[in-house]
Amino acid sequence: MTVTVPGVVAAMNQGLSVASGDIIAFTDDDAAPHPDWLECMEAHFQADAKIGAVGGRDWQYVGTRIKEEGESEDVGRLQWFGRVIGNHHFGVGKAREVDVLKGVNMGFRRSAIQGMRFDERMLGTGAQVHFELAFNLALRRRGWKIIFDPLVAVDHYPAVRFDEDKRDQFNSIAWSNAVHNETLVLLEHFPPLQRTIFMIWAFLIGTREALGLVQLLRLLPSGSSLTLQKWLASVDGRIKGWQSWLTYRNVTTPKEVATTK
């Protein structure tokens, strides 16, 4: 199977179009699922008919060693004001319901995602950061449970990217694209009051991955010009995300434009 359109979204949608099983599982070409990956995933789907998605921890490696040590029980959560908490590579504890899974390790019940597609509006020519956020939140709006279980595990060896997003190397276009994607997804997911709160929080405070004014002032003494570039790219991404939301909200409903073909 050949994918001619660049970006992970086109590849994922091509996979969706040919997959035939009752469970559709995704991982990356730089990851190796543990031997019991599918078995552990399937057990959750069989245990509860309301579960629409299951995923777990990605153990990140550099060669044969763990890339970064750490543990967290706060995984895959969207806070009410718009902060997205990942930590999937640090996830420990019991299986529990979350808001979002990581693209390298997630499986879906076919009946739950019937008619859904990965969001082709995600910017970027390769990684298209936050594509899984759009898909998972759309699934949540359908009323399905999303489960994170650390035992549903893959070994992840983050590979070199050949698009504008170079992982550990700053690129203003890639940074802005990621912030745009997150902004568009959350504006469509939140009701009106939360949209307003989210945008105020995003521009005023933000995170290390999408700087607001407070983060700029906090990080500027140690990061100098690079911090300023990240803030400018963050502002650019927020504005472009807002503009995209304004454009698409007048075309069709968020569920339709983001998840169906």
DSSP result, 173-219: HHHHHHHHHHHHHHHHHS-HHHHHHHHHHHHHTB-SSSB-HHHHHHH
**pLDDT at residue number 161:** 64
Residue 140: helix, strand or coil by DSSP?
A: helix
- Inter-CA distances, 19 with 14, 107, 114, 204, Å: 9, 12, 12, 43
Query: 231-245: per-residue pLDDT in tens?
Result: 999 999 999 999 999
**pLDDT at residue number 6:** 86
The larger pLDDT score, comparing residue 160 to residue 109, is at: 109
The answer on pLDDT for 52 being more than 90 is yes
**pLDDT at residue number 37:** 98
The answer on pLDDT for 253 being more than 80 is no
- Domain 8-156 coded CATH 3.30.1280.10: no
The Cα–Cα gap between 246 and 261 comes to 20
Domain boundaries in the chain?
Answer: 8-156, 172-259
Confidence of residue 259 (pLDDT cuts 50, 70, 90): very low
Over pLDDT 70: what percentage of the chain?
92
Q: What are the helix (H) ranges across 19-113?
A: 37-47
**pLDDT at residue number 162:** 60
The answer on pLDDT for 49 being more than 50 is yes
**pLDDT at residue number 164:** 66
Long-range contacts of range 248-257, CB-CB < 8 Å, 24 or more positions apart? 248/121, 248/184, 248/188, 249/188, 254/188, 254/189, 255/138, 255/141, 257/121, 257/188
**pLDDT at residue number 257:** 43
Which residue(s) pair with 223 in the sheet?
A: none
